[in-house]
Chain A
Amino acid sequence: MSQRPEPLHEVSEPPALLRWWLDYRRVMMLLLALFVGITIVYPLYQVFWRSLMVDGEWSLANYSAVFLRPSNYMALWNTLWVSVLATGLAVVIGTLAAFVIQRTDVPHKALLSVLLVLPFAIPPLFSAIGWVQLAGPVGLFTQWWRELFGAPPPWNIYSPGGIIFVLAVTNYPFVFITVAGALMRMDSSLEEAARTSGVGPLRIMKDITLPLVRPAILGGALLAFVSSIDNFGIPAVLGMRAQFYVLTTRIYEALTIPNMPLATAMSVLLVLVAIVCLVAFRRLEGTRGQYAVISGKSVTPNVLRLGKARPWVLAVLYLTLVVIVLMPVFALVLTSLLRFWGADLSAENFTLRHYIAVLNQSGARRGIINSLILAPAAATIIVIVSAMIAYLNVKARQRGAGLLDGIATVPFALPGSVIGVSMILAWSNPAFGPTLYGTLWILLAGYIMRYMAFGLQSTRSTLQQIHDSLEEAAWTSGASRLRTIRDITLPLLRPGMLAGWVLIFISAFNELTVSVLIWTTGAETIGVWIFLMQDSGFTGRAAALAVLTLPVILLLYLFTQWLTKLEARRRERVAGKSDP
């Protein structure tokens, strides 16, 4: 290796102007800005602009119309109090569960953790139907109560209380996951310091641990709250029958009339609710959450020994999980197999006729096929686009890419109904391009807008973990920029893209809130059909269709769990160094 070779390359460069145009970053930036502009900015602009327009004039008439009819502002009020109470209940369930799992010596922690986050995998509409079959007028729990006490039960599932309860048992995993995560990462020396000062374990939890995880509780509560105001399936199944409306169901009603200006104005109100709450939570976090105590260490922390109470705590946990997580699914499966709900559980009453009916119905078959097309299409488009945006933002540090990333993340904070309304406004009579309303394309556009943030989040965070020097090393090794992307960046980004893809697929496959507003005959989805069947009294068929989709969702859900574990192990490697 002693003889020194001549430089390996000697190139003449194109003139500066040509280079400027050839720069792939600018070309990519332009195309991506166009994509985000059409799929996200234009529909959003439509909602806000149209809600302020009456007959081509600026006017607040649409908003005064909303407040002139009590049923409209009642919906706003109902959304608020139902979501607040549901979030409160979710916080209690989620925080208690997190403390029991992370800070007591209860056994079976692995199994319990899996069961506790299972509601994430079950679409809210399924839970709502399941709970109707359990606690509705002819529900299992209702029957058991009658047999035990000889009187009608003291609850009514078709009520605000029913909605609050089902929202809470659907959304508590948000709180559980954030709080359990914070407890796991908390620096245990803070608790040990209290223990060496002679404080008992329960007192430590109250005085030290709980205040320290308050930011995590708030964060989880925010997610649960946004998810509650966003929800359509639960208040639709449990509230509309009792004439109890929230904003999402009111918007649905307004669109069936159809009263577009009213739906638009209410959408904007829904956005305002979301923003106000977001800001309120941020402020709470800002003043209370300034502790930098949650480090990366994981050491066995302050654990409360349950002693004799251990089997009882375990029994209560399992019982609760069976009732709130497994029973609704069980009821759904049973409904799909019984001739009619309330029939005796004897052999002659079991039947596959609901399945046969569903599969013989051409519309439902179409729905299944449409969802099987839409979910992977949306997931693929989003992941590719967001990988490019994230690359420009994080790695190429292209000016404007951060803004693009921010804009594309906005719809994440928007309730699904708003996205649905914006789709109709933008694409039923568009200012440019073809009319997408009445085709599958409008659903695809809606899903892209709704789930863009999922793709960006997973690709952005993966790219941020890839140390800059990994790319620079390839570059100084002689690889061109594009070759570096192909050989280094993409292979390292792939796990993040896959995780994002699966998450979007699961979410889009069962999407209801947006779909129910923009479906048309020929362009229905599984979620829409389940809702329509349930709404028109064919609960058996709705359950059958739901049960058919469950294996797909559950398998993919387990796949994501496995991916997350794999990712955690890979993380230190991707960081570009590993400790000796």
Chain B
Amino acid sequence: MTAILTLEGLTKRYGKVTAVDDISLSIEANEFFSLIGPSGCGKTTTLRSVAGLESAQQGTIRMAGHTVFDAGTRRDLPPNKRPIGMVFQSYAVWPHMNIYENIGYPLKVRRIPRDEIKRRVQRVLDMLGMSDLGARMPSQLSGGQQQRVALGRALAIEPSLLLLDEPLSNLDAKLRESMRAELKQVQRDTGLPILYVTHDQEEALAMSDRIGVMSAGVLHQVGSPTEVYTRPATRFVLDFIGTVSYLPCEVLKREGEAVMIRWGEEGEASATLSVNQNTPEQGPASLAVRPEHLLLTPVADAAQPGLARGRVKIRAYLGDAWEYHVRVGDCLVRVRTDSAQALEEGSDVAVGVREGYVVSADDDRQDRVLFSVD
């Protein structure tokens, strides 16, 4: 595989604030790569640096075999010299041009013959299912259609790399889901590498081949959606991706890759889980669990030992599942079960743990490593 985009040591400061802190990553051909993180984490600044809309202070950016930015030699190609297509959060469809002119503009400024422009714009329109809308003005289109035009405009020149800056965040939930599938389809059809920026983890997990998780300018982890979800590199990634609840527990002993803990209100429950680099050797710790890591049993059936006592405080029906907020000791944990198992609010339950992350209790620094990335 050849890298289409390579960032090395990219650093961007605004005054004293470091928006992007020494980031290195590379995107392969045909890859759908997402940068994800809370707002202000530097993901958009990274994307805009790749586009050439921002100039970093350190590092290099190589694109399709050419250096487009190098802080050392002060080489900084403007956006119009970079082989990219970009889609903006606000669509940025030009209101004074019709749809045909919008999509054809990148071809027009590259002096491509009129016939060729016509052919290629029509092909893009067909691909986006907007074959007849070329003569419309943007104000006559819905938000979803406008975003499709913006995508078409970015695809028209057949760029080496497609940059997407939270393109779906202005759409309503239904439309967002269908656009998600459509975007994925376009990527599969064209084989275009995509750098996608979003704060929506669901979106990133669903669409990406690989995900980069950022916080405060630092890239915490790069990996496939399953890697990032199941083997979070740091405490930040554990908290940010998916849902976690924390419970106090006590490490009894570690044996190789396994750790035995005691937990529950009075330490009545026990479990054997796998270790991570943050798991303490002995003594008090925190048990981080995702909603699907826990099992609930009506307390009447719970004769077996090893389970903790809990009580259902709130339940929510999600259609395909139930979500419960269960009180265990002083803590509320979120538990997800399949829709067949309905428990009443206020009922006593026995809680079992299938999987989880045992982490140190007195040190919750965000950059504390759990699983190192190869």
Binding site for B on A (CB under 8 A): 1-2, 4-11, 13, 16, 467, 469-470, 472-481, 483, 487-488, 491-492, 570, 572-574, 576-580
Give chain B residues whose Cβ lies under 8 Å from the Cβ of A573.
Answer: 95, 138-139
Tell me whether B88 and A473 are in contact (CB under 8 A). yes
Quick one: which of A9, A473, A574 has the most chain B CB within 10 A? A473
Main SS of the interface on chain B?
loop
In the docked arrangement, what's the CA distance between A483 and B110, Å? Answer: 12
Check B146 for interface membership: any CB of A closer than 8 A: yes
Give chain A residues whose Cβ lies under 8 Å from the Cβ of B82.
Answer: 7, 9, 476
Tell me whether A472 and B79 are in contact (CB under 8 A). yes
Closest beta carbon of chain A to B213's beta carbon, Å: 25
Closest beta carbon of chain B to A565's beta carbon, Å: 16
Nearest opposing residue in chain B for A19, CB measure = B74
Tell me whether A469 and B160 are in contact (CB under 8 A). no
Check B359 for interface membership: any CB of A closer than 8 A: no
Check B77 for interface membership: any CB of A closer than 8 A: yes
CB contact under 8 A between A472 and B88, given known A2-B191, A477-B105: yes
Give chain B residues whose Cβ lies under 8 Å from the Cβ of A478.
Answer: 80, 106, 109-110, 157
Nearest opposing residue in chain B for A492, CB measure = B96
Quick one: which of A16, A469, A483, A579 has the most chain B CB within 10 A? A469
Tell me whether A11 and B81 are in contact (CB under 8 A). yes
Binding site for A on B (CB under 8 A): 29, 51-53, 63-66, 74-75, 77-86, 88-96, 105-106, 109-110, 138-139, 142-144, 146, 150, 153-155, 157-158, 160, 163, 170-172, 175, 189-192
Tell me whether A580 and B175 are in contact (CB under 8 A). yes
In the docked arrangement, what's the CA distance between A16 and B65, Å? Answer: 24
Nearest opposing residue in chain A for B95, CB measure = A573
CB contact under 8 A between A475 and B94, given known A10-B66, A578-B138: no
- Which one, B53, B80, B95, B191, contacts A480 given CB within 8 A? B80
Tell me whether B83 and A477 are in contact (CB under 8 A). no
Give chain A residues whose Cβ lies under 8 Å from the Cβ of B74.
Answer: 16
Tell me whether A474 and B90 are in contact (CB under 8 A). no
In the docked arrangement, what's the CA distance between A439 and B177, Å? Answer: 69
Give chain A residues whose Cβ lies under 8 Å from the Cβ of B144.
Answer: 580
Give chain A residues whose Cβ lies under 8 Å from the Cβ of B105.
Answer: 474, 477, 479, 487
Q: Which 3 A-B pairs have the closest CB atoms?
A: A580-B143, A477-B106, A469-B92
Tell me whether B63 and A7 are in contact (CB under 8 A). yes
CB contact under 8 A between A470 and B146, given known A478-B106, A573-B139: no
Give chain B residues whose Cβ lies under 8 Å from the Cβ of A576.
Answer: 90-93, 95
Give chain A residues whose Cβ lies under 8 Å from the Cβ of B91.
Answer: 469, 576-577
Tell me whether A475 and B80 are in contact (CB under 8 A). yes
Beyond known contacts A4-B64, A476-B86, A478-B80: 16 more, CB 8 A cutoff: A1-B190, A1-B192, A2-B190, A9-B81, A10-B66, A16-B74, A467-B92, A472-B88, A473-B94, A473-B150, A475-B78, A476-B163, A479-B105, A487-B105, A572-B139, A578-B143
Closest beta carbon of chain B to A369's beta carbon, Å: 37
Quick one: which of B64, B74, B94, B110 has the most chain A CB within 10 A? B94
Quick one: which of B88, B143, B155 has the most chain A CB within 10 A? B88
Nearest opposing residue in chain B for A4, CB measure = B160
Give chain B residues whose Cβ lies under 8 Å from the Cβ of A10.
Answer: 66, 81
Tell me whether B53 and A476 are in contact (CB under 8 A). yes
Nearest opposing residue in chain A for B83, CB measure = A7
Tell me whether B146 and A8 are in contact (CB under 8 A). no
In the docked arrangement, what's the CA distance between A443 and B163, Å? Answer: 54
Tell me whether A476 and B79 are in contact (CB under 8 A). yes
In the docked arrangement, what's the CA distance between A9 and B160, Å? Answer: 12
Nearest opposing residue in chain B for A466, CB measure = B95
Quick one: which of B92, B157, B190 has the most chain A CB within 10 A? B92
Nearest opposing residue in chain A for B193, CB measure = A4
Tell me whether B109 and A477 are in contact (CB under 8 A). yes
Tell me whether A11 and B77 are in contact (CB under 8 A). yes
CB contact under 8 A between A580 and B171, given known A1-B158, A479-B105: yes
Tell me whether B64 and A7 are in contact (CB under 8 A). yes
In the docked arrangement, what's the CA distance between A570 and B80, Å? Answer: 29
In the docked arrangement, what's the CA distance between A479 and B52, Å? Answer: 13
Closest beta carbon of chain A to B8's beta carbon, Å: 18
Tell me whether B29 and A4 are in contact (CB under 8 A). yes
Give chain B residues whose Cβ lies under 8 Å from the Cβ of A481.
Answer: 78
Give chain B residues whose Cβ lies under 8 Å from the Cβ of A579.
Answer: 143
In the docked arrangement, what's the CA distance between A7 and B61, Å? Answer: 14
Give chain A residues whose Cβ lies under 8 Å from the Cβ of B157.
Answer: 8, 477-478
Give chain B residues whose Cβ lies under 8 Å from the Cβ of A477.
Answer: 80, 85, 105-106, 109, 153-154, 157
Tell me whether A5 and B158 are in contact (CB under 8 A). yes
Nearest opposing residue in chain B for A574, CB measure = B95
In the docked arrangement, what's the CA distance between A182 and B52, Å? Answer: 43
Closest beta carbon of chain A to B196's beta carbon, Å: 15
Could you write out 8 A-B pairs with CB less than 8 Å apart?
A9-B77, A13-B77, A474-B94, A475-B78, A573-B138, A578-B138, A580-B142, A580-B144
Give chain A residues whose Cβ lies under 8 Å from the Cβ of B80.
Answer: 9, 475-480
Tell me whether B90 and A467 are in contact (CB under 8 A). yes
CB contact under 8 A between A491 and B89, given known A4-B64, A578-B146: no
Tell me whether A8 and B95 are in contact (CB under 8 A). no
Nearest opposing residue in chain B for A576, CB measure = B90
Tell me whether A7 and B66 are in contact (CB under 8 A). yes
Closest beta carbon of chain A to B348's beta carbon, Å: 46
In the docked arrangement, what's the CA distance between A467 and B93, Å? Answer: 10
In the docked arrangement, what's the CA distance between A488 and B66, Å? Answer: 29
Nearest opposing residue in chain A for B165, CB measure = A469
Tell me whether B92 and A472 are in contact (CB under 8 A). yes
Give chain A residues whose Cβ lies under 8 Å from the Cβ of B86.
Answer: 472-473, 476
Give chain B residues whose Cβ lies under 8 Å from the Cβ of A6.
Answer: 64, 83
Give chain A residues whose Cβ lies under 8 Å from the Cβ of B89.
Answer: 469
Quick one: which of B91, B138, B189 has the most chain A CB within 10 A? B91
Closest beta carbon of chain B to A15's beta carbon, Å: 10
In the docked arrangement, what's the CA distance between A481 and B150, Å? Answer: 20
Give chain B residues whose Cβ lies under 8 Å from the Cβ of A483.
Answer: 109
Give chain B residues whose Cβ lies under 8 Å from the Cβ of A8.
Answer: 83, 110, 157
Quick one: which of A5, A7, A478, A573 has the most chain B CB within 10 A? A478
Closest beta carbon of chain A to B153's beta carbon, Å: 7
Tell me whether A577 and B110 are in contact (CB under 8 A). no
Closest beta carbon of chain A to B129's beta carbon, Å: 16
Tell me whether A470 and B110 are in contact (CB under 8 A). no
